[in-house]
């Protein structure tokens, strides 16, 4: 057993050298891999570069709150956020139910008091166990999702007394949507 250990160590060290000498292409060189013969390919349409000026300016300008923005935010929230945060924002989504850490509820006081920009920054850069969505979600959609999260927070804290009489009657009759 002790004779085999140095041999095993020698084999492991020789394997490390193979990683350093792997074949690679030069960035601006030619390649047979792609039809156009160029190594560096043009990014696909809709790709979002990290740290570019256009993205920074789009994130700096908060769009006006409109029904279209909230509708877009609801759609994007359903695609990117609900799997972890659940439809109502309590952090009880499908992914945490399978063993992933539970995200915080959007309805805790700390997140209710946080500026909307904080939500946009978390979507962009990630936070804790949540990875960044900056490469998947456009800046405008990040603001739309943040606006929808604010709407969720308002909806879960609304009192029945704040409703119109017709809406309150529908809620009490079980017809509310």
Higher pLDDT, 113 or 22: 113
Do 11 and 4 meet the contact criterion of CB atoms below 8 Å apart?
no
pLDDT at 160: 76
DSSP, res 1: -
Do 34 and 119 meet the contact criterion of CB atoms below 8 Å apart?
no
pLDDT at 138: 92
pLDDT at 19: 64
For the domain with range 64-156, which CATH number is right: 3.40.190.10, 2.40.50.140, 1.10.760.10, 3.40.630.30?
1.10.760.10
DSSP, res 159: -
CA-based angle 109:114:120, to the nearest 5? 130
Non-local (6+) Cβ contacts of 110 within 8 A are 104
> Is-above-0.85 flag for pTM?
no
128 closest CA partner among 110, 103, 150: 103
Domain boundaries, the chain: 64-156
46 closest CA partner among 140, 144, 123: 140
155 closest CA partner among 65, 69, 70: 70
Higher pLDDT, 97 or 156: 97
pLDDT at 177 over 60: no
Averaged pLDDT for residues 157-165 = 80
């Amino acid at each position: 057993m002790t004779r085999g250990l140095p041999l095993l160590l020698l084999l492991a060290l020789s394997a490390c050298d193979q990683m350093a000498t792997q074949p690679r292409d030069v960035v601006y060189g030619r390649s047979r891999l792609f039809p156009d013969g160029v190594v560096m390919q043009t990014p696909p349409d809709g790709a979002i570069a990290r740290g570019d000026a256009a993205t920074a300016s789009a994130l700096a300008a908060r769009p006006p709150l409109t029904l279209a923005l909230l509708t877009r935010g609801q759609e994007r929230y359903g695609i990117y956020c609900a799997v972890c945060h659940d439809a109502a924002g309590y952090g009880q989504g499908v992914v945490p139910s399978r063993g992933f850490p539970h995200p915080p509820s959007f309805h805790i006081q700390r997140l209710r008091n946080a500026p909307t920009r904080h939500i946009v920054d978390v979507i962009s850069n990630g936070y804790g166990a949540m990875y960044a969505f900056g490469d998947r979600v456009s800046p405008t959609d990040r603001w739309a999702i943040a606006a929808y999260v604010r709407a969720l927070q308002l909806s879960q804290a609304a009192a029945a007394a704040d409703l119109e009489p017709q809406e309150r009657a529908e809620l009490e009759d079980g017809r509310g949507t």
